[in-house]
Chain A
Amino acid sequence: GAGVSQSPSNKVTEKGKDVELRCDPISGHTALYWYRQSLGQGLEFLIYFQGNSAPDKSGLPSDRFSAERTGGSVSTLTIQRTQQEDSAVYLCASSPPRLAGRYEQYFGPGTRLTVT
């Protein structure tokens, strides 16, 4: 079946502009995660959704970052007034319902954001 998809695959923006990154999780997956991966680095947790609610926003680096999820499906990560240090690959992942006793994450291909 279809995997996690993200759009756009690449985004180049000027410093100070706002950007929106989109994630389409696997159908039926209730949990959704956003991570940031800087060049050659590990996975930095940003935010986690269970359904439409976000019980854990602890990883958002500043109030310029926000995310929402609607209909228990698509999620959008918004970065306002982008800075050069926001340049990274933004990864989205989804997981099956906990009732299934499964915890694995399925990652999308990522959005490479470059702030000039």
Chain B
Amino acid sequence: GENVEQHPSTLSVQEGDSAVIKCTYSDSASNYFPWYKQELGKGPQLIIDIRSNVGEKKDQRIAVTLNKTAKHFSLHITETQPEDSAVYFCAASTGGGSYIPTFGRGTSLIVHP
């Protein structure tokens, strides 16, 4: 089955700096890669996703890049703000009829004012 590794487990940055979280996956058939943000006491919320036919996707201060050959994808957050502090999860799946994503173990991002 699919295996997703996520690094780092904790990331501490100063407000205004950039943050990068990296994930690798094992199943070359995976074709959908979402990122979720989980704030304290809440369920995860989708913030951005990318499909295997696209190499990069941006949405304001966040972007995701995908390298299919190397089987890794990354989340980039620019101009970080204290409200970006949360746990971020990456996931990978093969899509299809029985879509069950495999999640990374999460990255705790702390943005210091």
Residues of A in contact with B (beta carbons under 8 Å apart): 4, 31, 33, 41-43, 45, 48, 50, 55-56, 91, 93, 95, 98, 103-110
Contact of B98 among A50, A91, A106, A110 (CB under 8 A): A50
Which chain B residue has the least Cβ–Cβ distance from A47? B100
Contact, CB under 8 Å: B105 / A42: yes
Contact B104 A98 (CB under 8 A): no
A43 to B32: give the CA distance in the assembly, Å. Answer: 18
Distance between A116 CB and nearest chain B CB, rounded to angstroms: 21
CB neighbours (8 Å) of A108 from chain B are 43
Dominant SS at the B interface?
loop
**B89 to A48, Cβ gap below 8 A?**
no
B interface bracket (residues with beta carbon within 8 Å of A): 20 to 34
Q: Pick the contact of B99: A41, A42, A98, A109 (CB < 8 A).
A: A98
Looking across the interface, which residue of chain A has its beta carbon closest to that of B100? Answer: A48
Contacts of A33 in B (CB 8 A): 100
Nearest CB on B from A11, distance (A)? 15
Q: Is B24 in contact with chain A by the CB < 8 A criterion?
A: no
